[in-house]
Amino acid sequence: MFQIVVDFSTIQRFLALPADEIFFRMLITVGWIPLAWVLIWGASMVFLGTRQGKFSSKIKKITLAIDVPVMSEQSPKAVENIFAIIKGTKSVITMKEKWIYGKFLKSTSFEIVSIDGYIQFFLHVDPFYRDLLESAIYSQYPDAEIAEVDDYTKNLPDDFPNDTHELFGGEIKLAEGNFLPIKTYEDFEHMASKDQKLKDPLIQLFELMSRLGHGEQLWIHMMLYPDGDLGAIDKGEAFIMKTFGKDPPSKPSKLAKLVGPVAWFPSEVANQVAGFLAGDGEAAPAKNDQFKIFNMTNQEKGQLDAVAKKLAKPGYPVKIRWGYVARHDVYNKGGRNSLWKGYISLYSNQNGNSFKYDADTMPRDDYFWLVWEYRRKQRELMSALKGRSFGVGSPPMYLNLEELATLWHFPTIDTKAPLIKKSEAKRGEAPTYLPTAGFGESDDLPSSPLIEVDAQGRPIEREFVPDLESLPKYGEGDTSSPAPDELMDILPEGPMIEVGEEVAPEQVAESVKAKTEASEEDDRPFVPPNLPV
């Protein structure tokens, strides 16, 4: 009978060595592998960043100004279709395009800007996708007007401090997980007033912007990346399954898929050993939470409904960056910051999510050590605002179409902000039923009058003189043509219009006055003579 002998003496001698020697031998044997992997990964990221920087320097985006209709009855629901079409800017990037040319997907910036209290909607987009976005806007708002304009940020200074302007702002992010929603426009709807169904939260933003004075500007940039969900879908599904008391579906890793066919044996051995050590040869039963759904609190039920509602619509990775820039003599950092903070608090959802400041992206001087980097933060913020950069600043957040349409949509019919740029005239086309010239006809009208009249409007008598030279001679050519003498016999001898006597202008005025008085006399209503006095 065969005997298997396992010699552990080598392992025992190795473990008997001092701790520093054990660590050194392990580092020499296998420790260099993770270190080399980290160095290779870091070098590849530096190389990729360099290539993407060169690709980014070649991108030339354009700024489109949107003038919204004066009286638009569209709700924010229509803007969801505009955001949904951003998926059309997504393209497949090959490994060669990524690592050789540094190509990456381009974001699109939806902006609301107030300059000296004048509010304007903007799009900052790649020219290649201009037709895509314009068609999406015109399909929902046919009376809107879109025009390419100069970038409004280019005339402001890049360096701080400077002699003209100051800057404050930063980025906002979600306070909780990406799978929890903020308050959307459906949460602002109510039926207390039959004339106004939606209490639009943007009205407060427009009121804030309209209060800016001369020399003040407020920029709000909402940048959308056309791909990815930042893991919000998987985390949301796991939250729902956990709330129902079920185990979330696990997705095997690539390594698990590779060793899956042979991994069952050691797993089964480990389970058997664990059961044997437990004392009864069987694994401990799992806790039964299948009835947890009936014991949930109201807050848990509200969160469950909110997460399910958010996951029901697609979304995008989003960054929201804002900046308040003003001249030194009118700079009001505290007042404008409090208005902006109050505005974003409108979207706080007790059963969901809310917005908060990302302090790392803001120029702050609350403590003395923050003053040292205050100007550097201002320069970084202005560079990010001008470049609409998606790669710098705080990590992006995931918002679905309904949340995006709540944060950026055109004013509804109930919005009373007076300084929003609106399209004043309704565009239209000529009707298709207008008559046109037929074959052989001309569209030109005669330039000379058909009948000549004098100063009093009477026709001017013209003596008819026939052109005898153009008429054929009698006996030549066609013998059926009448002779000139015979033609004169059938022509009228006197004028066809009888000329009246000359009337003085005073008589014409008296006649007109008499006719006017008679007309007014006829237009008076009939009054019965037997009315009581």
pLDDT for the residue numbered 284: 47
Rg (CA), the chain: 42
In whole angstroms, give the CA distance from residue 47 to residue 525: 95
Model pLDDT, residue 26: 80
| The pLDDT of residue 495 | 59
How many CB atoms sit inside 10 A of residue 220's CB?
22
Q: Which residues does residue 113 pair with via DSSP β-bridges, in sequence order?
A: 120, 219
Alpha-carbon distance of 177 to 236, in angstroms, equals 9
- Classify residue 189 by its DSSP letter: B
Residue 352 in contact with residue 183, Cβ under 8 Å?
A: yes
**Residue type (1 letter), 387:** G
pLDDT digits 0-9 by tens, 172-230: 999 999 999 999 988 887 655 555 566 788 888 988 898 899 999 999 999 999 998 99
Which residues, at least 6 apart from 234, have a Cβ–Cβ distance to it below 8 Å? 251
Q: Distance from first CA to last CA of the chain, Å, rounded? A: 144
Angstrom distance (rounded) from CA 155 to CA 36: 48
Long-range (24+ apart) CB contacts under 8 A made by 326-329 are 326/165, 326/166, 326/215, 326/216, 326/217, 327/164, 327/165, 327/166, 327/215, 327/216, 328/164, 328/165, 328/166, 329/215
Q: How far apart (Å, rounded) are the C-alpha atoms in residues 304 and 244? A: 9
SS3 216: strand
The three-state secondary structure class of 415 is: coil
Give me the torsion for CA of 453, 454, 457, 460, rounded to 10°.
-50
Q: Mean pLDDT by 10-residue block, N- to C-terminus, for the chain (533 residues)? A: 69 79 80 85 90 86 86 79 89 88 91 93 93 92 91 92 93 93 84 62 88 93 93 90 74 58 59 58 50 71 88 94 94 91 91 91 85 91 93 92 92 62 51 50 54 66 61 53 55 58 65 68 60 56
Q: How far is the C-alpha of 327 from the C-alpha of 285, rounded, in Å?
A: 69
Under 8 Å between Cβ of 243 and 293: yes
The two tokens of residue 458 are 């009477």
Q: What is the DSSP letter of 63?
A: E
Give the model's pLDDT for residue 52.
Answer: 86
Token pair 């609409």 is at which residue?
388
CA angle (78 as vertex; 72, 82 as ends), nearest 5: 120
What is the predicted pLDDT for the residue at 279?
A: 54
So what's the pLDDT on residue 281? 44
User: What pLDDT shows up at residue 150?
Assistant: 94
363: left (phi over 0), alpha (psi -120 to 50) or beta: beta
β-bridge mates for residue 165, sequence order: 327
* Closest-CA residue to 363 (of 374, 349, 348, 352): 374
Amino acid at 363: P
Q: Give the closest residue to 236 by CA, choosing from 187, 177, 321.
A: 177
Please enumerate in sequence order all residues whose Cβ is within 8 A of that of 361, keeping only pairs 6 or more positions apart, or say none: 170, 171, 321, 377, 381, 393, 394
Peptide bond into 161 cis (omega under 30): yes
Residues 402 and 281: their CA atoms lie apart, in Å, by 54
